[in-house]
Structure 1
Amino acid sequence: MLKRNFKFHKNDKGEWWLILPEWKGDPDDLQMIEGADQWLDIISNDIKEVKLEMSDKYFVESETLTLLRIREENFGGGGIYYLDTYESKKVDLKLWLCDVTSFVFDCIPQKLFFKIIDK
Structure 2
Amino acid sequence: MRKTFRFYKTPENRWYIDLPEWQDDIAALEMVLGADTMLDKVSGYTDECLVEMSDAPFEGADIIRLIENLQQSIGGGNYLMETFRGTPVNQEMWLCEVTEYVFASLPEQIYVNVIQSNN
Tell me whether the two structures share a fold, i.e. TM-score over 0.5: yes
**Corresponding position of 1:87:** 85
Q: What are the equivalent positions in structure 2 for 1:27-66 lying under 5 Å apart?
A: 27-66=26-65
**Corresponding position of 1:107:** 105
**Cα 1:12–1:73, aligned 2, differ >3 Å: closer, same or farther?**
farther
Q: How many residues get paired?
A: 117
**CA-based RMSD:** 1.0
Supply the AA of the counterpart residue of 2:58. F
Q: Structure 1 residue 105: deviation in Å?
A: 0.5
Give the Cα separation in 2 of the matches to 1:85 and 1:60. Answer: 15
The gaps in structure 2 that reach 5 residues or longer are none
Give the Cα separation in 1 of the matches to 2:113 and 2:89. Answer: 16
Give the Cα separation in 2 of the matches to 1:11 and 1:46. Answer: 13
User: What does the per-residue CA deviation read over 1:60-82, in whole Å, with 9 as the maximum and x for residues that have no partner?
Assistant: 1001000001114542x011100
Q: Helix, strand or coil for the counterpart of 2:81?
A: strand
**Corresponding position of 1:16:** 15
Query: How many percent of aligned residue pairs carry the same amino acid?
Result: 33
Q: Helix, strand or coil for the counterpart of 1:25?
A: coil
1:116 to 104, 114, 117: 114
Instruction: Give the TM-score taking structure 1 as reference length.
Output: 0.94
